[in-house]
Structure 1
């Protein structure tokens, strides 16, 4: 049980103050610069996430983004539409379906690591943490996993900027960033749309065929809904695992004593992954919009306000977690909010956990001397909207 040394966290985004051992002055605060209400306290975050009637997930309405980018997007939907569409994919992520994927996840992990030259080291993100989950979700959807470089190109372009979005006063740079993000989303929609059109003609035994043939209240999904729905599954189905696995390996390698404990007792692997998700929360914020005036943490927030649920800070709340700045793989219970809470709890959470656990066990088996290359990394992404590694060069 220890903390990551300051020298290893030099390039964490400064706006993620909780990663630097700091606590907020208040559990709820208004950021006048951006017009966003930020929720930091654990209980306050739970309150917001568990109340979709008061706090809408349709944040696009605050950014003036065209509605067709959100039709069928589970992340932006509220009840009752959210529940009807979520039922379409719940069956694809049942415990049995996910458990049955374990042999394939293990096979892919070994195949990817077989291509690693030990003399040249292992770049964890590019060679394992990214390709593994994207191949798995691509196979589930039924799109070519060989196109994963295209997916990465589009997703990276959406998250590369470090600019903090303002809901009060737009500027040319912000408009340019938003326009570029919309262009990348359109690339993904066009890509999925082409495959969806082919499935309407020639269905297969895959998740995309299920979406194009499914009916909600007797009506089939539109082409736009299918494209947006599938994009959520494709993008979030791999990017979360990429971040979780990368962060878990980093946390263990930054704590050599804990790493050895996990090597010796593999029952701790699950706890190590759960603790890394709390300690380095991949998506530190979730957006919501107030439908009505409400009160949280004793603070009144008017209607039609943007709310940032700072789960990264909540996962370090000392009122909920003992010694929150300590990385403790034996932490139990560990009710972190990394996968959300309530109706929007991540549908792919079981798959992300399985992939990370299988891959970490195999890494520990194959590379008994694994360590971070001190001359090359680690490098974290600069975006304030993720806490994730861009590169993690390892000596193996």
Structure 2
């Protein structure tokens, strides 16, 4: 795609290729850590939680450390069982009318302006509104949510720590209010539900809220914006989708593979083990490059070709194993509804080519700083 050639690659496909071929498991002596690049190795790391722990720190230093994202069994199983009640297929499908209504409201506002920044005017507010309503957060706080979300996946450690301190205070106040006066929202469920006879701690509740804010926002925001970028760049795919909207589900899977919203995750070596002929020692960190795995030619034919008909498409964009993304179905539903409505409302959309694309400042997440489009 032409946007990969604007300056440096927005997604470092050439670097991924070199590392898969020359150093599929690369050791970083300065940090005593490893980087994994091949699909099968990364899938194995995801699956083997006996040797590769999701718990990167011995204690929960910040709230997100107490979320299911950074826990191993059996605690992971207990907490996932609780929150999964809010993400059953029936609950998620029941959100379709609301997602549709929000999408049209955002499009109405875009029509009045006469152009759109796909990221800021649509892809960002849609999932933010949905997850905020699920949690029971006032509409007036959504802008603050976005700022916190950016800080959580950004490159500034100070901002990462500060936003979690602010979120701890914010969600503690909300949780205390729900204990006294429960409502029909997820935070009320978290504070009043027992898991194996025990209530969640305040830190666990806050960790859930922080995780859902990021997972419910960043992944879907970047999935929708990346999809519009890809479809605008591939006229044939765009024409086929406009003629046959039933192709959107497989096209979305290809966007997830090609522009994986989560490019990297980490694990900590729990027990001494071997991988790719290398000896990994307890305590070492392994960064697993999902973006590289999803372009591995050993698994995907012509991996650098964007193909909306790709099948099978066993990408790892949502992880694998016990940590497979709990919100995957919600992200897919939001993207499917949102993209169909954008195609219907703005059939003549085209990217503003005068705007240089810039990647958001995050090594973990793939997203753009802005994505201006003409709509007529």
Give me the TM-score of the superposition, normalised by structure 2: 0.94
Cα 1:71–1:300 shift into 2, 3 Å: closer
Structure 2 CA distance for aligned equivalents of residues 377 and 255 of structure 1: 18
Cα 1:21–1:77 shift into 2, 3 Å: closer
Structure 2 CA distance for aligned equivalents of residues 119 and 142 of structure 1: 30
Select the residue among 100, 103, 107 that pairs with 1:113: 107
Cα 1:377–1:70 shift into 2, 3 Å: closer
Once the two structures are TM-superposed, the CA of residue 33 in structure 1 deviates from its matched residue by 3.9
Cα 1:157–1:362 shift into 2, 3 Å: same
Structure 2 CA distance for aligned equivalents of residues 270 and 377 of structure 1: 29
* Structure 2 match to 1:130: 124
* Structure 2 match to 1:223: 202
State the SS of the aligned residue for 1:379.
Answer: coil
Verify the 8 A CA contact 1:11 1:382 in the aligned structure 2: no
Once the two structures are TM-superposed, the CA of residue 66 in structure 1 deviates from its matched residue by 5.0
State the SS of the aligned residue for 1:287.
Answer: strand
Select the residue among 164, 182, 202 that pairs with 1:185: 164
* Structure 1 match to 2:29: 32
Verify the 8 A CA contact 1:11 1:380 in the aligned structure 2: no
* Structure 1 match to 2:13: 18
Taking the TM superposition and a 5 Å limit, the aligned residue runs for 1:1-396 are: 4-5=1-2, 8-12=5-9, 16-18=11-13, 22-24=17-19, 25-61=22-58, 67=61, 69-70=63-64, 72-117=66-111, 120-161=114-155, 177-396=156-375
Which 5+ residue runs of structure 2 have no aligned equivalent? none
Structure 1 CA distance for aligned equivalents of residues 320 and 211 of structure 2: 18
Once the two structures are TM-superposed, the CA of residue 380 in structure 1 deviates from its matched residue by 2.0
Verify the 8 A CA contact 2:294 2:300 in the aligned structure 1: yes
Deviates more, 1:250-259 or 1:79-88: 250-259
Structure 1 CA distance for aligned equivalents of residues 62 and 360 of structure 2: 29
Verify the 8 A CA contact 1:57 1:77 in the aligned structure 2: yes
Once the two structures are TM-superposed, the CA of residue 375 in structure 1 deviates from its matched residue by 1.6
* C-alpha RMSD over aligned residues: 1.8
Structure 1 CA distance for aligned equivalents of residues 107 and 5 of structure 2: 26
Structure 2 CA distance for aligned equivalents of residues 126 and 17 of structure 1: 24
Verify the 8 A CA contact 1:17 1:23 in the aligned structure 2: no
Cα 1:6–1:215 shift into 2, 3 Å: closer
Structure 2 CA distance for aligned equivalents of residues 21 and 293 of structure 1: 26
Once the two structures are TM-superposed, the CA of residue 68 in structure 1 deviates from its matched residue by 5.3
Verify the 8 A CA contact 1:252 1:258 in the aligned structure 2: yes
State the SS of the aligned residue for 1:300.
Answer: strand
Give me the TM-score of the superposition, normalised by structure 1: 0.90
Once the two structures are TM-superposed, the CA of residue 95 in structure 1 deviates from its matched residue by 1.1
Verify the 8 A CA contact 2:128 2:146 in the aligned structure 1: no
Cα 1:7–1:29 shift into 2, 3 Å: closer
Which 5+ residue runs of structure 1 have no aligned equivalent? 162-176
Structure 1 CA distance for aligned equivalents of residues 282 and 362 of structure 2: 28
Cα deviations across residues 236-261 of structure 1 (Å, max 9, x unaligned)? 11111001111111111111221111
Once the two structures are TM-superposed, the CA of residue 351 in structure 1 deviates from its matched residue by 0.1
Verify the 8 A CA contact 1:28 1:40 in the aligned structure 2: yes
Verify the 8 A CA contact 1:106 1:358 in the aligned structure 2: yes
Once the two structures are TM-superposed, the CA of residue 290 in structure 1 deviates from its matched residue by 0.4
Verify the 8 A CA contact 2:37 2:290 in the aligned structure 1: yes
Structure 1 CA distance for aligned equivalents of residues 248 and 27 of structure 2: 39
Once the two structures are TM-superposed, the CA of residue 11 in structure 1 deviates from its matched residue by 4.9
Verify the 8 A CA contact 2:178 2:191 in the aligned structure 1: yes
* Matched positions, count: 373
Verify the 8 A CA contact 2:272 2:282 in the aligned structure 1: yes
